[in-house]
Structure formats: structure tokens, C-alpha cells
Chain A
């Protein structure tokens, strides 16, 4: 039924357009000129529409920031996260300033210089000084952003480990699961390859390598607060990407190689649940969920897959729990080592 009605509406619509166009062309023929030439009246209308669009564009931009500002990720949960957010804010401030200057000028000019009969445009073909200004100013701004960005990048990618040795955790990706492997007491991961997979050896640890004997395999990621964690990423099948949005961290998991990323969690799950912006978000989301008859939600950090990996890509996740050091020590001591699990 829906299709038939849709089809009829489409046909009638096309006939209607055809009739309007015909009448329009017939009437312009009567006036003895090509109705498709742009008239001063058109320029006035379109110029005004341009100005109106420019204004509405800016108004809706502000409205979106106010209305949707709180859906965005807020308090960072890692040490480098606050540096990341600051660099973000600086860059965003610069581009927003440019945006709210250039866009209105564009639409204002479109309205201001809309064509009128008899007026001649100004013949103005170049101005070296002006062009130099808008080459040099962006160049200087970008120089600042490049230097600042690269400093942050280098700090994030090459963290200083002199004070505190990071604990090593492997994240192992496969369609469509995450598995964590803690390096154990020796803090060294045992050698691993897909060729060793079998039975309870789900990530393929080489049992001939003694370093792997005390490795600990879990389906949940528990991290101690304030302790740097060096993640090593592997994949069993295809490319996945470990995305930790709350920690401002992401790294691809590539079959055949080991990639890495290090960060220090600074806010425990419990603390984050008491964060005002998170509390507000949880409240808002639970209102939506209760309206849909879904169970209520409690905030948890989560690890997502962020590289297209197949049918269940959209549901490849792993909960992350950041806890105090003592709780972590207790939790890890309860886990079975690789040797024990065999």
C-alpha cells in the first residue's frame, strides 16, 4: 500500500512540476524574453535568502552547541587526557573564531553586492599586500598549532617512564571479542602467535617461553588508578582498533604485528560515576531508557572496536574498570595464571 501511494504521489509530483514549468515558460514567452535570465528581482530575493541563511546558520550553530554540548565526551580519565583536551580546546577556539568570522562575511557579501541593473562591479584583480597577509597569518597560526600539536603528540607517544615502570597488558582482538593478557609478576609477556592457539590457550602463548607462564588472561579489563599501563595490541584475524574514548586513546590491532599505546588512568570508575557531567549524562540517558522500557544504566568505562571488522563490529566491546591500587592487587591475585589454567 505504502509503495502504491508513494508511486502515485511521485508521478503526480512530476506532472505538477512539468505543468508549472510549462506555464512559467509560456508566460515568459509572452513577455518576449528568456525567463531564465537572472533579473534584479531574482538577485534581490536570492541575496536576501543568502543573508537569511547566514544568520540562521550562525544561530543554529550556537543552538547546537547549547543543545548538544553535553552529549560530547567530557572529563578525561587519563593523565595525558587533560593535555589532549587543552590542545583540543585551543585548536577548536581558533577554528571556531575563523568559522564565525568567515561564514558571515561570505553571506553578507552575497547579500550586500547582489546585482542591480546599471551598476558596474569594481575591477580589482589582485593586491599583493592583502594576499601576503592572508598567506602569512594562517602560516603563523598553523606554525603555533603544529609546534604545540607535535609537542603533545611526542609526550603522548613517548611517555616518560623514569619514575614508574608501567604494567604491561596485552589487548588481543578477534571477531568480535576482546581478551586481555596481563604480563604477571615478571611484567614480561610471553611470546605468542596464532599458531600456538589451542584448548584454553586462547591467545596463543608459546608454553616453551617461561615469561608467559605467569601471564593472566581475562575477559575484563581492570586497571589500577594512577599506575601507567603499557598496552600491547595484537589481532588474531583482521584489523581491529582499540578505542578508549574516555581515556583519549586509540590504537589499531594489526594481524602480524604488535602495536602499543601507554596511558595512566587517573579517575577510578567510582569517582567518574560521581563526576557531575557524567551524573547528568547518566540521568538523561536513563530517562530515555526508562521511556523505552529498557533497564537503567550505570556508568562504566568501555573499550570499543573502531575499525570495520564485520557483522558484529558494532557490538565488539569490553568493560573497563579503574580501581584503587589495593583493589587491583587483590583482583589480580585472584586470577589464574596461564600455567594454572592449562
Chain B
């Protein structure tokens, strides 16, 4: 290790140009910031899109000049939204939020920032592949944004891009060049994600500092590590699904197409099955939910423990439940397909495995709550978002028990009940985890503090509006309202839902605007915020032993040795209410857990 440290000391002296420092950086801390800021830009686009289609849902057919300004004469003539662009907006909103914000933005940022810092490594195992991972993600983002400007409109087949809708431009205009760009963008994205994930796995396994055994890893690292394994095992399947779809679209193959007549013409394709695509898609799609959620849960474990000034309750159970959730997440994908015509027996199997996931999830929720019990809670903005996450994780997870039950799914499948469920359990929980992470590790990223009061304001408006948007959707779903409807005016039975739709849109607009507080706070504090001390949250983990100013190689001297787990908060017999991992055990002290 000392030879390596020496090499890095020399490296440190190297002159860095603007390009090697800020653009083609191989330093994990800079790459983390690149992921975060790209993710935030994509997030602004994704959220803005949701506000546009919420306008249409609350006041269908009403003229909004802003729609004409943003979407143009082609897609919003006179300010009235076109049904095709509505579908494009929901499709791209879903794609951007799921992949670009909550996968790359969340995992890319915090895995990169925290894995080397928290395990005591100078950098990722391969800085070069790490850099490539970001630039593939960047290229993928550029292609996805470019697809918004295609003449016929971007991909509009839903974020799940089920063929034949996604395969046939005759079926929907967005399945032309827009869909091709979507597939190209996702291919680049998958490459980026795989390079990132391999790096995370290798780094965690090989570069832990002395004393950092797997059972001493902070739960953040456990979460990122298992997330990376999920990504490596499942994203390639999406890649194959996307490639076969490209073949069907451009080369006349029939993997997913059979017996189709469209635009008055019978297609020659024979023998394919769209259900095959659904299986391939959801084999990624379901682990993907946990690729999004686990990092947020990992961040929450760390933030809740630190700010409760208490050890995380049941560390081993927490690790066990991460592993259990990850394992089960590979054998539950069929619960998205109960009404596709899949064999009812398979439906039974998937119901069984799906409901099992509720057990480790319940353990996690109860352990978080017990961590708060008899704590000395410090309400930093990060802590507020973490508590918000526990609330949404419980509220959204519970309806999963309904949707995972094949018998009950029949009548609520693809309704707003599902929209409510997955936005609360996955969308809100993950975005709250991401906010918590940004507020908590901002001093580590920029050496400055974010403004506390703006953070409080941001949390409360966001939290209230988030529930205000998604909780009422349970009721519209139980009225039988299908998702992805451009308008519900064609069915008089839904006329009494319009007030609810207006209310939802109101909360969406207020909540959307409240994000300005965050964006302002973020950029202002990054440039002008007050300087942070080395360990502002009085935390135990290794990243707070590095200097405030970023240096290449993270620690100026030797990498510190680890002597205890990460959660010795308020340990009896200690002077302070925290004991960093680098502090050796006292004489006669029992090592925690």
C-alpha cells in the first residue's frame, strides 16, 4: 500500500489542465459531480414534462399559450396539446426519470463519490473506465434530448416501449426516428451503466483499506455494491431486448411481430411474440426498481443513523434484507404481466415470490423506525428527506401487496392506482434519498455548506406536494381510470374525477416550482456558500477524514486504517457522541455489533 501511496503523492504534483480536471477527469469525485449535474439537468426536463401533461389532464382541451411556446405549432397548435405529443411526454418523462435521474443520477453520483471515500481507496479500480462511463452517459443524454427534436416527435410507446407499438411507425408517429434515437440512447446508457457497475463491484471487493472487512462496510456501500451486481446481471438483458427490437424495426426480422395488419397492409412478419419482449424487458425492469431504490435506502441508513446519533438498528438484518431483496428482485418480473395472457400457473408463482419481498422490506422499515427510537434527532435537511423516504417507502410499499397479488391486479392493472403506487414507493423514495444524499454530502463534494433554511423550505413544500400529487391517484385508479389517457372526457363515468385531477395538477405545479429553491441553493452554495468544516455532521465514516479541499488520491498521507464499524454513535463510555472508524478500540472496549 505504501508504494501506491507514494506513487499517488507524485501524481498529486502533476499539472492538471482545465480539460483533465473538469472535463475528461478520471477522479471519482469530479465524475460524481458530473453525474449529479447531468442528472439534475435531465431531472429538470423530466419534471417540466410532467407539469405540461398535468396541465392537459386538469384542463383538457384548454388553450395554454405556454404549451404552444414550448411544443410549437406542430404539437400544440393554438396552445392545445396533441394526443400524440401527450404520449411522447409521458414516455420521455418516464424514461428520463427512471434511467437518467434515478439510475445514473443517483447511483452514478453517490457510488462514485462514496465508494472510494468510504472504503478507504485512492480512487476507483479503473479511473479510465469510470471516465468512459460518464461520457457514455453524457452521449446517451445528448441523444435522448436530441430525440425530442425529431420531426415526427420522440418515442411515444410508453417507457416500457412494448412492441409492436414501438416497432411500427404506422402505429404511432413517435415510433419512427424518435424510437430509433431512444434505442441508440439506451444502448449507450447500458454501456455506461455496465462500465460503472463493474468498477463499483471491483473497487468494493479489492480496494478496501486495512480493517475494512465486509461486515464493517457502511450500509451505503452495501447498497451500492448490491445495486451494481443487479445492474450487471440485468441491464445486458435489456440490451438484447433493444437489439432484437432494432432488428425487427430495421431488418425485417420477426422476434416480436406476428400476424399484423396495420394501415390496411398485412405485414410479412410471422412467428414472433410481443410477450417475449415483455419478459425480456421486465427481467431488467423489475431489478431496475431496486437499482433505483437500494442506493436511496443505503443513503437513508447512513443519514438516519448519523443524525439520530445512534447506531443503525440491526445492521446484519439490514445487510441481509438488501441481499434478500436483490435476490428476490430477479424472480418477480412476471408480476408486471399478470394480464398479458401468460399462463395463470406462472402468475401464481410470481405472486408468491412478489409478496415475499414485503418481508425484507418490512424489516428495513421497522429498523429505520427503531433507529429513531430514543435517538437525539438532528433535523438537517438530509434527515428530513430521509424520514420522508421512510414514510413514502411504507405508504407506497403497502399498496404493492395489493398489486403483487395476481387476483387483485386484474382490475387495477394499468390504472392510476399503479401510477400512485410506483411513484410513491419508487419515485418519491428514490428522489428523497437523492435529495438527502445531496444535502448530506454537499460539504464533501464542494467544501461548502448548503443553506439550511432553504433546505427546510424545499423539504416541506416538496413533501406535502408529493403526497398531494400521488395520494389522490389511488382514488382515481379505484374509479377505474386507466393510465396514459390523454383525457378522461370521453367516458362520462369519469366526469366526477375532474376536481381530483385539478387538485393533483395544483400540487404538481407548486411542488415543481419549489424545486427552484433547491436548484438555487445548490448552485449558489457551490459557488458562494459558507466554507464547511472537515466533519460538519460529526460522522464516523471515512470520507470525513479527508481534507475539505479535494486532492487526487483522497488522503494526503497514508490511507487510514479502520478499527470499528461505522455506527458507533453515542457509545457508552466515550467522550463524544461519535467515534470515527479510524479510532482504535480502547483498552477493554467491546467492538460494537
Residues of A within 8 A of B344 (CB): 153-154, 157-158
In angstroms, how far is the closest chain B Cβ from the Cβ of A229? 16
Residues of A within 8 A of B405 (CB): 87, 91, 145-146, 149, 153
Residues of A within 8 A of B467 (CB): 57
Q: Which chain B residues numbered 64 to 107 have a C-beta less than 8 Å away from chain A?
A: 65-66, 69, 82-84, 87
Instruction: State whether A98 and B171 are in contact (beta carbons under 8 Å apart), knowing that A142-B358, A149-B406 are contacts in the complex.
Output: no
Q: Is the CB of B379 within 8 A of A42?
A: yes
Residues of B within 8 A of A134 (CB): 362-363, 366
Q: Which chain B residues numbered 323 to 374 have a C-beta less than 8 Å away from chain A?
A: 339-341, 344, 347-348, 351-352, 355-356, 358-359, 362-363, 365-367, 369-370, 372-374
Q: Is the CB of B309 within 8 A of A115?
A: yes
**Other-chain residue from A10, A34, A71 in contact with B475 (beta carbon distance below 8 A):** A71
Q: Which chain B residues numbered 236 to 293 have a C-beta less than 8 Å away from chain A?
A: 257-262, 266, 271-275
Chain A: CB-nearest residue to B344? A157
Residues of A within 8 A of B162 (CB): 239, 307-308
Instruction: State whether A153 and B488 are in contact (beta carbons under 8 Å apart), knowing that A103-B394, A238-B168, A252-B340 are contacts in the complex.
Output: no
Complex Cα spacing A289 to B536, Å: 59
Q: Is the CB of B479 within 8 A of A256?
A: no
**Other-chain residue from A87, A120, A197, A241 in contact with B414 (beta carbon distance below 8 A):** A241
Residues of A within 8 A of B470 (CB): none
In angstroms, how far is the closest chain B Cβ from the Cβ of A130? 7
Instruction: State whether A285 and B492 are in contact (beta carbons under 8 Å apart), knowing that A106-B390, A194-B260 are contacts in the complex.
Output: yes
Q: Is B534 an interface residue (CB 8 A)?
A: no
In angstroms, how far is the closest chain A Cβ from the Cβ of B176? 13
Q: Is B311 an interface residue (CB 8 A)?
A: yes
Which segment, of A45-53, A163-171, A213-221, A330-338, faces chain B? Answer: A45-53
Q: Is the CB of A68 within 8 A of B374?
A: no
Q: Is the CB of B490 within 8 A of A36?
A: no
Instruction: State whether A36 and B449 are in contact (beta carbons under 8 Å apart), knowing that A17-B454, A17-B517 are contacts in the complex.
Output: yes
Scoring B residues 297 to 341 as 1 if CB is less than 8 Å from chain A, else 0, what string do you get?
000000000001111111111000000000000000000000111
Size of chain A's interface in residues, with CB distance under 8 A?
126
Q: Which chain B residues numbered 450 to 504 have a C-beta less than 8 Å away from chain A?
A: 450-454, 456, 460, 463-464, 467, 471-472, 475-476, 478-480, 482, 484-488, 490-493, 495-498, 500
Q: Is the CB of A95 within 8 A of B402?
A: yes
Residues of B within 8 A of A281 (CB): 493, 496
Residues of B within 8 A of A285 (CB): 492-493, 495-496
In angstroms, how far is the closest chain A Cβ from the Cβ of B85? 10
Q: Is B122 an interface residue (CB 8 A)?
A: no
Q: Is A43 an interface residue (CB 8 A)?
A: yes
Complex Cα spacing A84 to B369, Å: 34
Q: Is A32 an interface residue (CB 8 A)?
A: no
Q: Is A121 an interface residue (CB 8 A)?
A: yes
Instruction: State whether A142 and B359 are in contact (beta carbons under 8 Å apart), knowing that A64-B471, A149-B408 are contacts in the complex.
Output: yes
Residues of B within 8 A of A152 (CB): 407
Scoring A residues 133 to 162 as 1 if CB is less than 8 Å from chain B, else 0, what string do you get?
011001100100110011011101110000
Among B162, B363, B398, B521, residue most surrounded by chain A Cβ atoms (within 10 Å)? B398
Complex Cα spacing A123 to B487, Å: 55
Complex Cα spacing A114 to B307, Å: 10
Residues of B within 8 A of A46 (CB): 379, 384, 456
Chain B: CB-nearest residue to A10? B516
Among B259, B261, B362, residue most surrounded by chain A Cβ atoms (within 10 Å)? B259
Q: Is A257 an interface residue (CB 8 A)?
A: yes
Q: Is A200 an interface residue (CB 8 A)?
A: no
Q: Is the CB of A34 within 8 A of B158?
A: no
**Other-chain residue from A121, A297, A306, A314 in contact with B577 (beta carbon distance below 8 A):** A121
**Other-chain residue from B273, B312, B373 in contact with A109 (beta carbon distance below 8 A):** B373
Residues of A within 8 A of B157 (CB): 308
Q: Is the CB of A241 within 8 A of B339?
A: yes
Residues of B within 8 A of A233 (CB): 341
Instruction: State whether A255 and B258 are in contact (beta carbons under 8 Å apart), knowing that A46-B456, A153-B407, A314-B83 are contacts in the complex.
Output: yes
Residues of B within 8 A of A288 (CB): 495-496, 498
Scoring A residues 272 to 297 as 1 if CB is less than 8 Å from chain B, else 0, what string do you get?
00000000010011001100000001
**Other-chain residue from B374, B490, B493, B593 in contact with A314 (beta carbon distance below 8 A):** B490
With contacts defined as CB atoms under 8 Å apart, how many contacts are there between chain A and chain B in the complex?
390
Q: Is A208 an interface residue (CB 8 A)?
A: no
In angstroms, how far is the closest chain A Cβ from the Cβ of B444? 14
Q: Is A312 an interface residue (CB 8 A)?
A: yes
Residues of A within 8 A of B363 (CB): 131, 134-135, 138
Q: Is the CB of A122 within 8 A of B348?
A: no
Q: Is B376 an interface residue (CB 8 A)?
A: yes
In angstroms, how far is the closest chain B Cβ from the Cβ of A236? 5
Complex Cα spacing A107 to B368, Å: 12
Q: Is the CB of A87 within 8 A of B408?
A: yes
In angstroms, how far is the closest chain A Cβ from the Cβ of B509? 12
Chain B: CB-nearest residue to A120? B570
Q: Is the CB of B379 within 8 A of A47?
A: yes
**Other-chain residue from B259, B271, B493, B497 in contact with A193 (beta carbon distance below 8 A):** B259
In angstroms, how far is the closest chain A Cβ from the Cβ of B416? 11
Q: Is B207 an interface residue (CB 8 A)?
A: no
Q: Is the CB of A103 within 8 A of B317?
A: no
Q: Is the CB of B490 within 8 A of A315?
A: yes
Complex Cα spacing A257 to B158, Å: 22
Scoring A residues 70 to 105 as 1 if CB is less than 8 Å from chain B, else 0, what string do you get?
011100000000001001100110110011001101
Q: Is A14 an interface residue (CB 8 A)?
A: yes
Residues of A within 8 A of B312 (CB): 125
Q: Is the CB of A311 within 8 A of B87?
A: yes
Among A2, A17, A153, residue most surrounded by chain B Cβ atoms (within 10 Å)? A153
Residues of A within 8 A of B370 (CB): 124, 130
Residues of B within 8 A of A25 (CB): 451, 530
Instruction: State whether A123 and B311 are in contact (beta carbons under 8 Å apart), knowing that A84-B411, A109-B369 are contacts in the complex.
Output: yes
Chain A: CB-nearest residue to B443? A36
In angstroms, how far is the closest chain A Cβ from the Cβ of B376? 4
Residues of A within 8 A of B515 (CB): none
Q: Is the CB of B408 within 8 A of A194?
A: no
Q: Is B413 an interface residue (CB 8 A)?
A: yes
**Other-chain residue from B449, B472, B480 in contact with A34 (beta carbon distance below 8 A):** B449
Q: Is the CB of B376 within 8 A of A153?
A: no
Q: Is the CB of B378 within 8 A of A38?
A: yes
Q: Is A254 an interface residue (CB 8 A)?
A: yes
Closest 10 CB pairs of A and B: A256-B258, A259-B341, A245-B480, A46-B379, A157-B344, A153-B407, A297-B492, A194-B261, A314-B485, A122-B374
Residues of B within 8 A of A (CB): 65-66, 69, 82-84, 87, 157-158, 162-165, 168, 171-172, 257-262, 266, 271-275, 308-317, 339-341, 344, 347-348, 351-352, 355-356, 358-359, 362-363, 365-367, 369-370, 372-380, 384, 387, 390-391, 394-395, 398-399, 401-402, 405-408, 410-411, 413-415, 449-454, 456, 460, 463-464, 467, 471-472, 475-476, 478-480, 482, 484-488, 490-493, 495-498, 500, 516-517, 520-521, 524, 530, 533, 536, 567, 569-572, 577, 592-593
Query: Can you list 29 A-B contacts with CB-CB less than 8 angstroms, sorted by A residue number?
Result: A25-B451, A36-B530, A68-B472, A71-B479, A73-B411, A95-B398, A98-B398, A109-B373, A116-B376, A120-B577, A121-B375, A123-B571, A124-B310, A131-B367, A139-B359, A142-B356, A157-B344, A174-B261, A175-B171, A250-B414, A251-B341, A254-B341, A256-B258, A288-B495, A302-B491, A310-B171, A312-B83, A313-B87, A314-B83
Excluding A73-B479, A149-B406, A306-B482, 13 further A-B contacts by CB distance (< 8 Å) are: A99-B398, A114-B377, A121-B577, A124-B374, A146-B355, A233-B341, A241-B413, A285-B496, A288-B495, A310-B171, A311-B87, A314-B486, A317-B490
